[in-house]
Chain A
Amino acid sequence: MLDLASVTETPKSAAEVAELVADAAAGGRTLEVVGGGTKRRIGPMAADGIVSMAALNKVVDYAPEELVLTAQPGVTLAALEKLVAAQGQMLPFEPPHLGKLLAAKGRATLGGTLAANLSGPRRIRAGAARDHFLGLQAVTGRGELIRAGGRVVKNVTGYDLPKLMAGSWGTLAVLTEVTIKMLPAPRTELTLLYFGLDDRRAGEAMTRALNAPAEVSGAAHLPAPTAARPPLAGEMAVTALRLEGFAASVAARAEHLVLALKDCGRAEQLDGSLSRDFWAQVREVEAFWKDPRPLWRVSVPPAVGWRVAESVAGEALYDWGGGLVWLLSETEPAGVRAAARALGGHVTLYRGEGPAFEPLEGPLAALTARVKAAFDPKGVLNPGRLGGG
């Protein structure tokens, strides 16, 4: 990894980004694209230079009544969250910042969050970052400035390139402006906590909760060893279900849920800021901040989430009703990957040595390589980050 200070260019406009990329393409040089730098360690890279998006950090247009916001990618999540909260709105996909988890100095940006398609606990109800990514301006690896999508909430004009960019980790184009969908922030929230469930029973309880007409907007499980770590420092496993919305509705749904889960023991309630704090630590995977072991992000069909820790030795934190498992494990990478694959999922190494991303195979790998070449034929952007080409 290059030293950020040594070879960093900090363009001040989309045209400057285009010029930098076009020059690199013409000169056969490679570039690493950096927002706040929080996720630089995910996926090893060896580039000739760095493009920092730090100076492209303005909010271009925010129309709360239209539920859309257009900003430059370098704007920090923290600044954005403050801005929209003042209008009673939120980023619906509840993006994690992950700076502390990844021991990074910088602050997470909107562009980096979209490029990594990072979504928090509300993903199960509201959708992922990609679902709220409406439009973009970007510089492809060819050095071309393009626009795609739109600035309205409903649009099917042309290919949905924002979706393609979400989760491409900066390997196709450099985002220079993005439009995202906002939603009103819930007026109240309430979390039901159940204690002492083993992983399997917790998985079943979360499934039942998510299948009830209760609009659960967070479903997480911390097994006893995970719950015993700071910040919870609890004595038993904790299973948490979040309800958000208007007060009367939340109360009615909580009542319904307590009844549906009465065999899971007595539910404790967290309100207001206690509930917010709880979900912030789930979102940021705070329990695993201080542990030096390799950390895997496991994505599997939610109903089989509890089997992950059964098949790989380690400690787990379950989010998304079991669909997202943060796994601390020293099992060799091939074993972790095989276990996830056997369950119908895949893994990404968020902390630790070695390739981060799942290798693709067969026609899908070939198609992926052609898509990469369509945007970045010379391999200028984030070379080798996703593995392979």
Chain B
Amino acid sequence: MKMPLPDAALIARKGEIVRALRRLVPGEGVIGDSAGLVPYQSDGLSAYRQTPLAVVLPETVAQVSAVLAWCQANGVKVVPRGAGTSLSGGALPLTDGVVLGMARFNQILEVDYANRCAVVQPGVTNLAISAAVEADGFYYAPDPSSQVACTIGGNVAENSGGVHCLKYGLTTNNLLGCELVLMGGEVVRLGGKGFDAAGYDLLGVVTGSEGLLGVVTEVTVRLLTKPQTARAMLLGFDSVEAAGATVADIIAAGVIPAGMEMMDRPAIVAAEAFVHAGYPTEAEALLIVELDGPEAECAELSQSVAALAQARGATTLRTSASEAERLAFWAGRKAAFPAVGRISPDYYCMDGTIPRRQLPHVLTRITEMAGEYGLGVANVFHAGDGNLHPLILYDADQPGQLEAAEAFGADILKLCVAVGGVLTGEHGVGVEKRDLMGEMFSETDLAAQQRVKCAFDPDLLLNPGKVFPRLHRCAELGRVHVHRGAVAFPDLPRF
């Protein structure tokens, strides 16, 4: 993975930069020593590591604004960071840049039940929001698997998902507003507590912008009322096709489950060996279907789902009879990643989305490619919305295996795009999929996106090296000329 060439002159100015930051953020808020920088070398995509020039941990919006304004005035790059759980390298530091950590913004500022929202600082963890309102019967819906650790500010940057997206949406569908500091230090408020705001939907474009547009210093999230009941079903099948057809039948019956997960046999076997959830290890595919709502609804719909699964020849069919059993059904799925970690020294998690009807074809191709690369693969899958998580098994100590895993991963994502899907459903582009953006977007498409970047950050100092395969200087972008809207190969489908 190539990062922008570090600027030696900036690295040479490290002492001066650290001193300047210390003036702006007094006390313990600036880390410059090499031992203190080690924890910031990577994020959840730990195959990539770099040591930042310095880390600054501001406590107030005024400090964030002052740090960004100083960095802009001095041409210093900034990488924003929440908890550092990104799976795409969104918070990977730069050797010639400063990491701006938002961990000290950890307060829930207001819970407003009358407007069903909470105003929180960006360093609050995803789960802490739900925990704060749980006793009153509310919760915050998006639940990325890292929710114990990941912060809401990071969730905004990545537009994080989770297993309940199909029914409840991603982060972007659960936000009402935010406060954002631009690279120049200006503070803007986007949205509020109402359902829409005046002007362009800048909140919508900031969400999922991967830390390239601004630094979020406050977030207003929607709170939902907790469903009265939740019930999970475990459905085993002797083919991926039968499981996929059942998913389609459930949706065709008008049922949108709260969660609908699929695992293939290698994932089932690994999870069962790890947590003993009672999964049928002989099944080729396992579905976990969660229904929520009033008891009457869960009772009716679980019978409908059971009938549909039986019609497709389900070999296992269990419905949770208690909350403990529901959690047990989920335990294997939630432990799928560490479970795979037990059977392979390393694994690499992919994140493409495909039209669901393409599932059997895509899984067959993935199995074939695994053979070609000589690597194992286990598949977990947000079946309801077509978001695939193939886990490629490799051993970084074996020469060439990391490179093979990366090449295999890239081939999987290209396949996702080729069948009408996308590169990333919820993990973000980051550095990981940056160089694959051309598979989905033309130069013209990417230039249009980059002009948005230039509107927010004209000197390209915020999180450079992420998302865009090539970051053009903003002045150069203005000169990109397209004659009468013509692009190369206009008839080539790009989705």
Report A's interface with B, CB cutoff 8 A: 15, 17-19, 21-23, 63-68, 88, 117, 123-124, 127-128, 130-131, 135, 139-140, 142-148, 150-161, 163-164, 166-168, 172, 183-187, 207, 210-215, 245-246, 248-249, 251-253, 256, 299-303, 320, 323-324, 344-346, 357-358, 360, 362-364, 366-368, 370-371, 373-375, 377, 386
Min CB distance, B448 to chain A, in Å?
A: 5
Contact among B253, B255, B294, B490 for A213, CB-based, below 8 A: B294
Chain B residues closer than 8 Å to A212, beta-carbon distance: 225
Specify which of A123, A144, A246, A358 is in contact with B482 (CB 8 Å cutoff): A144
Given A67-B251, A127-B173, CB of A151 within 8 Å of CB of B495: yes
CB distance from B303 to the nearest CB of A (A): 11
Q: State the 7 A-B residue pairs at the shortest beta-carbon distance, nearest first.
A: A18-B485, A163-B204, A249-B297, A358-B198, A303-B114, A184-B254, A374-B451
Task: Please tell me if the beta carbons of B485 and A139 are within 8 angstroms of each other in the complex.
Answer: yes
Of the 9-residue stretches B4-12, B13-21, B418-426, which lies at the interface with chain A?
B418-426
Given A148-B449, A210-B116, the answer on whether A156 and B425 have CB atoms closer than 8 Å is yes
Q: Which among A159, A161, A324 has the highest number of chain B CB atoms within 10 Å?
A: A159
Is B301 within 8 A of A140, CB to CB? Answer: no
Contact B357 A160 (CB under 8 A): no
Flag the segment in B188-196, B231-239, B258-266, B274-282 that touches A: B188-196
Return A316 CB to nearest CB of chain B, in Å: 16
Is there an interface contact between B451 and A65, defined as CB atoms closer than 8 Å? no
Given A153-B166, A155-B425, A368 contacting B200 (CB threshold 8 A): yes
Q: How far is the CA of A377 from the CA of B454 in the complex (A)?
A: 13
Q: How far is the CB of B226 from chain A (nearest CB, A)?
A: 7
Question: What are 16 A-B interface contacts by the 8 Å CB criterion?
Answer: A22-B484, A65-B252, A131-B173, A139-B485, A142-B482, A145-B487, A157-B433, A158-B429, A159-B205, A163-B207, A184-B255, A248-B297, A302-B115, A323-B195, A324-B195, A344-B192
Distance of A124 Cα from B205 Cα, bound (Å):
21
Task: Name the contact of B485 in the complex, choosing from A21, A167, A214, A368 (C-beta under 8 A).
Answer: A21
Q: Is B158 an interface residue (CB 8 A)?
A: yes
Contacts of B36 in A (CB 8 A): none
Chain B residues numbered 179-208 whose CB sits less than 8 Å from any CB in chain A: 182, 186-190, 192-205, 207-208
Residues B115 and A246 in contact, CB atoms below 8 Å apart: no
Q: Decide: A374 near B454, CB < 8 A? Known: A144-B444, A154-B165, A300-B194.
A: yes
B371 within 8 A of A: no
Residue B29 is within 8 A (CB to CB) of chain A in the complex: no
CA distance A344 to B194 in the complex (A): 8
Q: Tell me if B484 and A160 are in contact (CB < 8 A).
A: no
- A327, chain B: closest CB distance, angstroms: 15
Q: Which stretch, B98-106, B394-402, B435-443, touches the partner chain A?
A: B435-443
> Number of contacting residues on B, CB 8 A?
104
Beyond contacts A130-B201, A158-B437, A183-B256: 17 other A-B pairs, Cβ-Cβ < 8 A, are: A22-B482, A65-B251, A67-B251, A131-B173, A145-B490, A155-B353, A157-B429, A164-B200, A166-B201, A185-B254, A211-B137, A213-B227, A299-B195, A302-B195, A344-B193, A363-B187, A374-B452
CA distance A154 to B354 in the complex (A): 9
* B357, A117: Cβ atoms closer than 8 Å: no
CA distance A130 to B445 in the complex (A): 20
Known: A158-B441, A184-B254. A144 touches B297 (CB 8 A): no
Query: Given the complex of chains A and B, what is the CA–CA distance between A147 and B446 in angstroms?
Result: 9
Q: A66-B386, A147-B441 are in contact. Are A160 and B159 (CB under 8 A)?
A: yes
Q: Which of A155, A211, A357 contacts B116 (CB 8 A)?
A: A211
Closest residue on chain A to residue B385 by CB atoms: A154
Q: In the complex, are the beta carbons of A157 and B424 less than 8 A apart? A: yes
- Residue on A with the closest CB to B214? A367
Q: How far is the CB of B417 from chain A (nearest CB, A)?
A: 9
Known contacts A154-B161, A184-B256; A146 and B455 CB within 8 A of each other: no
Q: Is B321 on the interface with A (CB-CB < 8 A)?
A: no
Enumerate chain B residues within 8 angstroms of A373, measured Cβ to Cβ. 455
User: Are the CB atoms of A367 and B252 closer together than 8 Å?
Assistant: no
Contact B448 A140 (CB under 8 A): yes
Given the known inter-chain contacts A167-B200, A246-B301, please indicate yes or no for A156 contacting B428, CB distance below 8 A.
Answer: yes
**Which residue of the partner chain A has the closest CB to B413?**
A157
Contact A157–B440 (Cβ < 8 Å): yes
- CB-contact partner of A15 in B115, B420, B424, B485, under 8 A: B485
Given that A67-B251, A160-B205 are contacting pairs, would A375 and B437 also be in contact in the complex, using a CB cutoff of 8 Å?
A: no
B198 near A211: Cβ-Cβ < 8 Å: no
**A124: B residues at CB distance < 8 A:** 195
Is B172 a contact partner of A163 (Cβ separation < 8 A)?
yes
Point out the residue from A160, A214, A371 that lies within 8 Å of B172, measured CB to CB.
Answer: A160
- Shortest CB-to-CB span from B57 to chain A, Å, is 25
Contact between chains at B170 and A156 (CB < 8 Å): yes
* B446-495, CB < 8 A from A: 446-449, 451-456, 467, 478, 482-487, 490, 494-495
Q: Is B373 interfacial (CB 8 A cutoff)?
A: no
A158 and chain B: residue at smallest CB distance: B449
Given A128-B195, A128-B196: A66 and B356 interface contact (C-beta under 8 Å): yes
Q: Indicate whether B33 reaches chain A with its CB closer than 8 angstroms.
A: no
A147: chain B residues within 8 A (beta carbon): 441-442, 445, 494-495
CB distance B454 to A156 under 8 Å?
no
Assess whether A154 is in contact with B353, with CB atoms less than 8 Å apart. Answer: yes
Q: Is the CB of B204 within 8 A of A130?
A: yes
Q: A65-B357, A363-B186 are in contact. Are A152 and B193 (CB under 8 A)?
A: no
Q: How far is the CB of B200 from chain A (nearest CB, A)?
A: 6
- The reply to whether A167 and B196 contact each other, CB–CB distance below 8 Å, is yes
Contact A63 B452 (CB under 8 A): no
Q: Which of B219-254 contact A (CB under 8 A)?
A: 225-228, 248, 251-254
Check if B77 is an interface residue, CB within 8 A of chain A.
no
Instruction: Chain A residues near B425: list those with CB within 8 A.
Output: 152, 154-156
Chain A residue contacts of B494, Cβ below 8 A: 147
- Asked if A143 and B355 make an inter-chain contact with CB atoms under 8 angstroms apart, the answer reads no
Q: Do residues B422 and A155 form an inter-chain contact, with CB atoms below 8 A? A: yes
Does B448 contact A146, Cβ atoms closer than 8 Å? yes
Inter-chain contact B449/A159, CB cutoff 8 Å: yes
Residues of B within 8 A of A142 (CB): 482
Q: Is the CB of A160 within 8 A of B208?
A: yes
Known contacts A158-B441, A344-B192, A151 near B420 by CB under 8 Å: yes
Inter-chain CA distance A63–B251, complex, in Å, is 12
For residue A298, give the distance in angstroms from its CB to the closest CB of chain B. 9
B residues 279-309 with Cβ under 8 Å of A? 293-297, 299-301
Question: Which of B173, B204, B209, B487 has the most chain A CB atoms inside 10 A of its CB?
Answer: B204
